[in-house]
């Protein structure tokens, strides 16, 4: 075995271990890191919806239900991959008591989402959960700090306060488990316990 072959073998094994560690860390960090945020209510901003009408963000939050908020972009490959799972979560809302709200943003610029582009995405991918149009500035105004990427998952508790923010896609089952765990901690009863 030559030095070059040995170096490649060691490098490949190191990269594979590093890749597995990164994947596993990302997969499980959602459940472990989630409680580190201080619950804070989101400001009641008025935003344009994909229906072409203005809406207050608080119209979609709280009301004794958890809300999964996904920040996504119509041209974001990871967001496109995440959407079927988020749509299923929305479709199951009567069984799980978990609502879904999309915050659509232009990708990759993070400028204000384009209404026609969001509407076309909803039509093409059969998305029927509510979506509001945002930019990275609006994300910051929500008190969530700078937007680091898409998709970003935000879980809002039944009182309308942010419980956790997670960069990257999160499986619907992990969202349900997190909510059940939080409900058990606070003594809340829900359909998804």
Query: Would you kindly state where each structural domain of the chain is located, as residue ranges?
Result: 1-36, 37-186
SS3 label, residue 144: helix
* CB-count burial class (<10 Å; 0-12, 13-18, 19+) for 112: middle
Once rounded to an integer, what is the mean pLDDT over residues 156-172?
A: 95
Helix (H) or strand (E) holding 20: helix 3-33
Q: What is the pLDDT of residues 79-127, one digit of tens each?
A: 999 999 999 999 999 999 999 999 999 999 999 999 999 999 999 999 9
What Å distances lie between residue 1 and 12, 15, 36, 107, CA to CA?
15, 20, 49, 46
Rg value, the chain, Cα? 19
Mean pLDDT of the chain, nearest integer: 83
List pLDDT tens digits, range 33-52. Answer: 444 445 678 889 999 999 99
The pLDDT of residue 6 is: 34
Q: What is the pLDDT of residue 66?
A: 97
Percentage of the chain beyond pLDDT 90 is: 72
- Report the distance separating Cα 190 and Cα 60, nearest Å: 18
> Which residues are registered as beta bridge partners of 138?
none
Q: How far apart are CA 161 and CA 42, in angstroms?
A: 6
Please determine, for residue 28, whether its predicted confidence score (pLDDT) is greater than 50. Answer: no
- Strand 131-133 and strand 54-56: the pairing is unpaired
- For 168-191, how does the pLDDT look when each residue is reduced to its tens digit (9 = 90+)? 999 999 999 999 999 998 876 544
> In terms of CATH, what superfamily is 37-186?
Glutaredoxin (3.40.30.10)
pLDDT score for 15? 45
- Report yes or no on whether pTM surpasses 0.85: no
CA distance 14 to 18: 6
């Amino acid at each position: 075995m030559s030095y070059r072959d040995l170096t490649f073998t060691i490098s490949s094994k190191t990269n594979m271990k590093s890749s597995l560690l990164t994947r596993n860390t990302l997969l499980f960090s959602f459940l472990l890191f989630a409680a580190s945020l201080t619950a804070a209510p989101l400001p009641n901003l008025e935003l344009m919806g994909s229906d072409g009408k203005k809406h207050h963000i608080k119209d979609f939050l709280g009301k004794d239900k958890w809300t999964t908020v996904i920040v996504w972009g119509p041209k974001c490959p990871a967001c496109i991959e995440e959407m079927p799972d988020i749509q299923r979560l929305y479709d199951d809302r009567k069984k799980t008591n978990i609502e879904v709200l999309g915050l659509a943003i232009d990708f990759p610029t993070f400028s204000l989402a384009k209404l026609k582009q969001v509407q076309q995405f909803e039509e093409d991918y059969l998305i029927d959960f509510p979506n509001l149009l945002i930019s990275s500035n609006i994300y910051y105004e929500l008190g969530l700090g700078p937007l680091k990427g898409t998709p970003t998952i935000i879980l809002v508790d039944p009182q309308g306060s942010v419980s956790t923010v997670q960069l990257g896609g999160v499986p619907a089952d992990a969202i349900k488990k997190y909510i059940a765990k939080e409900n058990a901690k606070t003594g809340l009863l829900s359909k998804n316990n």
